[in-house]
Structure 1
């Protein structure tokens, strides 16, 4: 059974999420950002997913994301009442994998959680000998390690999945709809911010090692692997 950490200071919402998910997952609760980081640092459990509110006492949600991303690529779904585009783009840029706006539909929460955990399960079942190579980048599909010139690169779950997708089909142009369906495992409703930010962060992380944008934009269509020397 997968382990989920719920970080939400509103007791009613925290308990609502717990009741919603506890039948299928092991749930651990935190009610502040500081408490969440203590649990994350000291727990012997390996969390498979984190549901994280942004407006928290102690450390805020953004600080929690930044700290976790120093050591872990665990999927983080942000729950936020901040609906402005800049806030949503910002949390994706610092390492969140997804976001759900408050007030939320409980069916959407369950669907998003299942989607992210399904991706983890698929990765865990990958053949241990599966290694992808593109130029100086090497990807171990089993361990989910990414190396460039034998130096490790830390990617989030979605960044990793996007890179694998592009390298597996280097000549294919992926539309945003296809990327969202294949990587997020959900129907696409024109959520350009999520895809654009993840592509931008993936490019930025790899550029120092490849000296080019590893993913190129095909204007009006989508994205593909940049195979030009």
Structure 2
């Protein structure tokens, strides 16, 4: 026989089991505790899954969008053989700026040598040779830059740059969306864990030391009293019938 007592004010549940042997009673209580703990665990898992399902779905969509955006940008770079549309022009412009700076230094050196040396000075000839080489290199780099600009414009540089910028914006948005979804998922998981319920035994199942049931003295007293009352009733009826006769 199992009796369950629940205290709504404290949330405590007390279970008492009566059996023919102390070991049987304790085994029944342990089985009840194990089944109850498993049930509460399953209910908490279901509640936690329901609370985080929406956030998890948003995170999965954001991750898929980020993956697709990165793949699209990589395909764009591979198809056009560039990291950024303006990178080749920037490199070429930087090289030209460096050559022009060297040309300026060389011209200054030539002017100083012309003022302090003779026309047959080897240093002056070497500086002039350096000037001619740098001038030729500048001319070649100008031709390359013009050719690259023409090639860029021939394939629609404005459209190419616009597509690249659009993909970069999509990538930034996808990264921000993924970060926000990840934060929302972590928050949902933390909140769900706070609401999880657990079953803990404040008094573990114990083994009865003495048997209190059945209460033999009480039962003997009740049996004796009932028998006496029945005997008195029978005697009363018997004497009543005898007096009538």
TM-score tier, shorter chain, comes to: under 0.3
The normalised TM-score by structure 2 is 0.15
The normalised TM-score by structure 1 is 0.16
Question: Which structure has greater helix proportion?
Answer: 2
Q: Which has the higher Rg, Structure 1 or Structure 2?
A: 2
